[in-house]
Structure 1
Amino acid sequence: MPKLKGLKLKDTKLDATERELKKSRRRGDKKHRSHHRHEARHDESNYRDNYRDSTHEAIEEDDEILLTPSSAKIDMDELRAKIEEARFREKMLDAMAEDGRLDELEASYNAYVPPRWRDGPDQPVNPSWMEEEEYAEWVRQGMWRKTHREEVEAQERKAREKKAREEREREIRKETRRMEKEEDERRRKRRAEKAERRLVDAWRDYQERWATLLAVRSDADDKPLTSLTFASLPWPTYPVPADPDALTKEAVAAFLLSSLHSPDMTRKVRIREALRVYHPDRFMGRWMGSVIEGDRKIVEEAVGRVVRALTALAEEQTE
């Protein structure tokens, strides 16, 4: 510890420690000259540790130093700052001595860094580019990795298990969505096929009902039937209309012009044949007398709606 000019300082524990170390070194030199280099290194290490402890104790026991109050406060603050700086530099020198070994261990221990140390993507670092605070933090991180290896290995194992579990769950969800999509597609196709079969069956039923009516009328020797209703008459829509309002142009076109039936008949031919059946004069003269009294009005309205729909479709075919 350097002496301050103009001040008489009382011997401290640091001074006593230094004297004892010097005596110890002289005795060691005489007794162990063959191991001089090894003993010198050992004594130097002891000296450094004792120097640190003694310096710290000397600072804390500043009431033993004989100084005036005003000058003592200023000088001791400066002395404390210098000692703290010396301690920090000594620690940094110790850490820098292990840089090479830490660099070699960085790759192997990098995988065990806990999440709290990871502020960004894992990238190789060069300690020579760091500021002092950054370098000190880097050293602490390396020491943490070494002293908590089992902990970080357990964390890494849990992270791998969690990642694998999440990956399995993602695959399960993906496969489930795929299967659901395929099932939805199958259901859609089944519904479409079922609807197509129903429409084909409805067209067949439509033709058969007209054929039956014509056959019954022919067998009756032109005698009028008296049991026809709105529901018993064939209408060119699917499903069977519940009232005349259901006989729209769109409904007639979807049923009459469907590609699922009558492949040998063009759209124009189908419209022309339907107009021949539902022409008001022809229909009224042939069938209205066989309709029950309560349904004649709605049957007449239905015939008019069908004819208007067929006429509109025929006009669209000529455009």
Structure 2
Amino acid sequence: MTGRLKFKKSSNQSDSEIFDKTKEKFKRRCTRISPPRYAYLDEPISPPRKTRRRRWNGDDADAEEEEFNAKLYDVGGEDGAFEAYVPPRWRGGESYTSYLDTFSNDSDDDERYAENIRQKMWEKSHPGEAQHAREFAKMKSDRRNITSRAKYAARDEIHSEQAEQAAKQINEAEKQAEAKRQSFRSFWLNTPSKITSSNIKYPSFDGCISESSVSSFLQLSHLRASDKKRVVRDVMRIFHPDKFVRYESQIPTQEYDSIKEKVSMIARILIHLLE
């Protein structure tokens, strides 16, 4: 029976696989649940805690207050015993604090020095284990570095993907808006034989006739004053009540009043936009 040979992966290949897996795992964790407001992407998202509401009554509150006061009394007694133990010349003041700081620092230095001596003696007596410990520590450090780099890479990719998605959405929205403007122009350049409430084109994206919707449809905020007047007057040639009468024969009688009411609204909005 023959089997496939499996070659041992190099350290670079192994690190690259760990990096890619960690990055993808972190991206899935970040995109699975939306991060809370003001949270960073490298913060783990924890589920909401389930808390049990405790019912309080007057007896519980009194008992808790008594327990708290008793603890305060015990702490005060300990402080008093400590002050009695410390000689008067050491009590309070900067000299007392500086003495304790010096003593603490000296003790820490001595402890670190003794620990270094013990560590070196152990390494000399156990060279193999010491070498293994150093390699293991280096491996853990490398793994932490790989994880950190993977998180930063995942964060950058998420930001890039979000920016790209936002740009695509904006681009798609602009295309749809321009298509509706083109449909509006084509409709009134070559009006159909029959104009109804279902096929008539108003200068609005969503059919809601308001000053903001008409201004947005005509892109008036991006135009100079002279161009703005020209665009508004061109649209007014269609929706001015006196001009719109020429389309009366193309509109069904039962729909003419409702359409004419909207035309009058658009005319008033256009006049207001010219002011």
Q: Which residue of 1 aligns with 2:174?
A: 196
Deviations 1:58-82 (Å, cap 9, x if unpaired)? xxxxxxxxxxxxxxxxxxxxxxxxx
Deviation at 1:153, TM superposition (A): 4.6
> For 1:147-226, what aligned pairs fall within 5 Å after superposition?
147=122, 153-213=131-191
Report deviation, 1:267: 1.2
Q: Give the superposition deviation at 1:270.
A: 0.2
Counterpart residue number, 1:230:
197
2-structure distance, mates of 1:231, 1:205: 14
**Number of the residue aligned with 1:142:** 117
Consecutive unaligned residues in structure 1, runs of 5 or more = 1-128, 217-224
The answer to whether 1:291 aligns with 2:266 is no
Aligned to 2:262: 302
Q: 1:135 to 1:274 in 2, by over 3 A?
A: closer
Residue deviations 1:20-45 (CA, integer Å, cap 9, x gap):
xxxxxxxxxxxxxxxxxxxxxxxxxx
Separation of aligned partners in 1, 2:189 and 2:175: 21
1:159–1:307 Cα change, 3 Å: farther
CA deviations 1:239-264 (Å, max 9, x no partner) are 5x2xxxx011111111112689x99x
2:222 paired with 1:267: no
1:218-252 per-residue CA deviation (whole Å, 9 max, x = no partner) reads xxxxxxx6x4212222211225x2xxxx0111111
Note if 1:251 corresponds to 2:213: yes
Deviation of 1:152 (Å): 5.3
Aligned to 2:101: none
Q: Distance in 2 between matches of 1:185 and 1:134?
A: 52
- The residue type paired with residue 169 of structure 1 is T
CA distance in 2, matches of 1:181, 1:248: 36
> Following the alignment from structure 1 to structure 2, what is the Cα–Cα distance between the partners of residues 190 and 136?
62
Contact 1:238 1:251 in 2 (8 A): yes
RMSD across aligned positions (CA): 3.3
* Counterpart Cα distance in 2 of 1:171 and 1:186: 22
- Aligned counterparts of 1:176 and 1:136: Cα–Cα separation in 2: 42
3-state DSSP of counterpart to 2:150 = helix
1:236 is paired with a residue whose SS is coil
Q: CA separation of 1:145/1:204 partners in 2, compared to 1, >3 Å: closer, same or farther?
A: same
Structure 1 residue 139 displacement after superposition: 3.7
Offset at 1:144?
Answer: 4.4
Cα distance in 1 for residues equivalent to 2:116 and 2:147: 34
Q: What is the letter of the counterpart of residue 246 of structure 2? A: R
2:45 matched to which residue of 1?
A: none
**1:210 Cα deviation (Å)?**
0.8
Choose 1 or 2 for highest CA Rg.
1
Count of equivalent residues: 167
Is the contact made by 1:257 and 1:270 (CA closer than 8 Å) also made in structure 2? no
Give identity over the alignment, percent. 17
Is contact 2:215–2:221 with CA below 8 Å preserved after alignment? no
Amino acid at match of 1:257: Q
Q: CA deviation at 1:278?
A: 0.6
Letter in 2 for 1:266: D
Q: Which runs of 5+ in 2 are unaligned?
A: 1-104
The whole-number CA distance in structure 2 between the counterparts of 1:197 and 1:144 is 70
Structure 2 CA distance for aligned equivalents of residues 137 and 168 of structure 1:
30
Distance 1:166 1:205 in 2: 58
SS of equivalent to 2:201: coil
